[in-house]
Amino acid sequence: MATETSPPKRGLGRWLMDWAKSIGAALVIWLVLSTFIFRAFRITSGSMENTLLVNDWLFVTKMLYGAEIPFTGRHLPALREPRHGEIIVFKSVEGDFDVVKRLVGVPGDTLAMRHGHLIRNGAMPVEPYVVHEDSTRAEQPAERERMRRWKVRHLVGDTTGYQPDVQDWGPLVVPPDAFFMMGDNRDNSLDSRYWGLVPRGNVLGKPMFIYYSFDGTSWRSLPAITAIRWTHLFSRPR
């Protein structure tokens, strides 16, 4: 009479090997997703208020504008190019950190600002998201000189005596392969008006939605739990 035999027991070493393979596969998948598909980004300043608030946590799609291939300086083909009015995450031109602003000028645009109002190609664009806290704000001479140094290379017309300020500058033409970025909180935003144009290669992606948000000074503090902005969760920044 044949007897039923039990399947051989898996040893600890085999179990550990299977576990390591599962973890390794999950890490590879996550690495591919975070490198080429999307990434997380946290808002740390008020320059995009009231569209994006401090301690908003975003998922950013990297495929739309072409994800960067690590260690190569090259990008995958973009699905399309960035457009006027889109919110974009990009590498800072001032240091090793990332920034989020709104795209207001693409290559070939003629831009200026008069008394705090943006003028693009001779017309004032509709910008319902813009906040003005102090439309009379002016910068100190050192900052104005910083603005003048980079803007003068792109000015339209005579540059003699050109003295820009945060609320009044231009007109200038955005050169090829570059973008002009500004914060929605126009009177409290360190943006292209100060540090200049953003190279196309610095563009990282476009926010998809806010997956977490709270009203507090530190994500490690109790407000991260007690002060969640429930109505802000899973909203799409526009």
Percent of residues, the chain, with pLDDT higher than 90: 67
* Complete domains list, the chain, with CATH: 33-232 (2.10.109.10)
Cα separation values, 3 from 6, 7, Å? 10, 13
Count other C-beta atoms under 10 Å from residue 176's C-beta.
Answer: 8
Closest C-alpha to 83, from 125, 130, 132: 125
Mean pLDDT for 115-137 is 93
Strand order across the beta sheet in which 198-199 lies: 38-42, 56-61, 203-213, 87-91, 98-105, 178-182, 198-199
Mean pLDDT for 175-194 is 96
Closest C-alpha to 181, from 49, 65, 92: 92
Q: Are 229 and 65 in contact (CB under 8 A)?
A: no
Q: What is the pTM for the complete model shown?
A: 0.84
Percent of residues, the chain, with pLDDT higher than 70: 86
pLDDT at 67: 84
Q: Token pair 């300043």 is at which residue?
A: 45
Phi and psi, residue 72, nearest 5°: -115, -25
